[in-house]
Amino acid sequence: MSSSKVEKEPKGAQGSEGTKESEGAQRSGQAQLAKGATRSDWALRSGGTARSAWAHRHLSALLVGLLLIVFALALFIGRYPKPGFLNPAALVSDPLARQIVLNSRLPRMLGAVLLGLVLGGAGASLQAVFGNPLVDAGFLGVSQGAAFGAAVALVLGLRAYSLIAVLAFGMAVLALALSLWLAERFRYGGQILRLILAGLAVSAFFSSLLAMMKYVADPLSQLPDIVFWTMGSMVPMGWKRLESSAPIALAALAVLYAMRWRVNLLSLDDTVSHSLGIRPGVERKIVSVAAAAGVGVMTAVCGVVGWVGLVVPQIVRAIDGPDGRSVLPRSMLGGAIFVLVSDTLARSLFSGEIPLGIVTSLFGALSFAILLTMRKVELAR
Amino acid sequence: MKTKLQPIGGIADSATGTATGTEDQATPILQASELSFGWSAERQVLDSISLEIARGQTLAILGPNGAGKTTLLSILTGKLAPLRGQVVLEGHPLSDYSARERAWRIAFLPQLEKLPFNYRVLDFVLMGRTPHMEALALPGTEDEKAARDALDSLGMASFEERNIGELSGGEFQLVRIARCLAQGASILVLDEPVSMLDPAHARQIADALAGLATVGKTIIYTTHDIGLGIFLGGRALILAQGRVQWEGESSGLRDAEMLARAFGITFSMREMPSVF
Confidence of residue B2 (pLDDT cuts 50, 70, 90): very low
Please provide the average confidence, as pLDDT, over all residues in chain B: 89
Residue from A5, A6, A40 to probe the interface with B (highest B Cβ count within 10 Å): A6
**Is the pLDDT reported for residue A15 higher than 70?**
no
**Partner A contacted by B211 (CB < 8 A):** yes
Task: Note whether A43 contacts B203, CB cutoff 8 Å.
Answer: no
Type of residue at A172: A
Q: Residues B138-147: what's their mean pLDDT?
A: 96
Closest Cα of chain A to B9: distance in Å?
A: 7
**Full-prediction pTM beyond 0.95?**
no
Domain assignment present for B252:
yes
Q: Residues B179-208: what's their mean pLDDT?
A: 95
pLDDT of residue B19: 41
Number of CB pairs, chain A paired with chain B, less than 8 A apart: 183
- Residues A324-352: tens digit of each pLDDT: 999 999 999 999 999 999 999 999 988 88
Domain assignment present for A170:
yes
**Chain B contacts of A287, Cβ < 8 Å?**
none
Domain assignment present for A329:
yes
Q: Residues B220-244: what's their mean pLDDT?
A: 95
Which H or E run contains A163?
helix A161-185
CA-to-CA dists, residue A266 to A53, A192, A256, A273, angstroms: 26, 11, 13, 7
Task: Supply the range of the domain harboring residue A177.
Answer: 111-381
**Chain A contacts of B155, Cβ < 8 Å?**
10-11, 14
Task: Note whether B138 contacts A272, CB cutoff 8 Å.
Answer: no
Closest Cα of chain B to A175: distance in Å?
A: 27
**Chain A contacts of B166, Cβ < 8 Å?**
32, 35-36, 39, 43, 46
Domain assignment present for B23:
no
> Could you give the number of structural domains in chain B?
1
Task: Note whether B170 contacts A28, CB cutoff 8 Å.
Answer: yes
DSSP string of B45-72, one letter each residue: EEEEEEEEE-TT-EEEEE--TTSSHHHH
Please provide the average confidence, as pLDDT, over all residues in chain A: 83
Confidence of residue B270 (pLDDT cuts 50, 70, 90): confident
Q: Nearest chain A Cα to B113, which residue? A: A269
Residue from B97, B117, B166, B174 to probe the interface with A (highest A Cβ count within 10 Å): B117
Interface confidence, given as ipTM, is 0.88
Q: Residues A350-365: what's their mean pLDDT?
A: 92
pLDDT of residue B178: 97
Among residues B80, B141, B84, B136, the alpha carbon closest in space to that of B108 is found at B80
Q: Cα(A199)–Cα(A209) distance, rounded to whole angstroms?
A: 15
**Chain B contacts of A276, Cβ < 8 Å?**
103, 127-128, 130-131, 183
| Pair type for strands B92-93 and B84-89 | antiparallel
Closest Cα of chain B to A316: distance in Å?
A: 13
Q: Considering CB atoms only, which of A39, A269, A322 is closest to B110?
A: A269
Q: Considering CB atoms only, which of B10, B110, B210 is closest to A13?
A: B210
- Residues B56-109: tens digit of each pLDDT: 999 999 999 989 999 999 999 999 999 999 999 999 999 999 999 999 999 999
CA-to-CA dists, residue B145 to A155, B139, B157, B193, angstroms: 61, 10, 11, 25
Q: Residues A244-248: what's their mean pLDDT?
A: 93
The CATH number given to whatever domain includes residue A310 is: 1.10.3470.10
Task: Supply the range of the domain harboring residue B32.
Answer: 2-16+28-263
pLDDT of residue B25: 58
Q: Considering CB atoms only, which of A132, A279, A380 is closest to B165?
A: A380
> Could you give the number of structural domains in chain A?
1
pLDDT of residue A159: 73
The whole-angstrom distance between residue A361's C-alpha and the CA centroid of its chain comes to 13
pLDDT of residue A36: 34
Domain assignment present for B276:
no
**Is the pLDDT reported for residue B123 higher than 60?**
yes
**Partner A contacted by B207 (CB < 8 A):** yes
Residue A103 gets which letter from DSSP?
A: I
**Chain B contacts of A325, Cβ < 8 Å?**
138
pLDDT of residue A157: 86
**Is the pLDDT reported for residue A45 higher than 80?**
no
Type of residue at B96: D
The CATH number given to whatever domain includes residue B131 is: 3.40.50.300
Domain assignment present for B62:
yes
- Residues A180-238: tens digit of each pLDDT: 899 989 988 888 889 889 999 999 999 999 999 999 999 998 998 899 888 999 998 99
Confidence of residue A55 (pLDDT cuts 50, 70, 90): low
Confidence of residue A4 (pLDDT cuts 50, 70, 90): very low
Q: Residues A32-37: what's their mean pLDDT?
A: 34
Domain assignment present for A3:
no
Q: Cα(A12)–Cα(A14) distance, rounded to whole angstroms?
A: 5
Domain assignment present for A40:
no
CB A333 within 8 A of CB A67: yes
Q: Considering CB atoms only, which of A21, A24, A43 is closest to B165?
A: A43
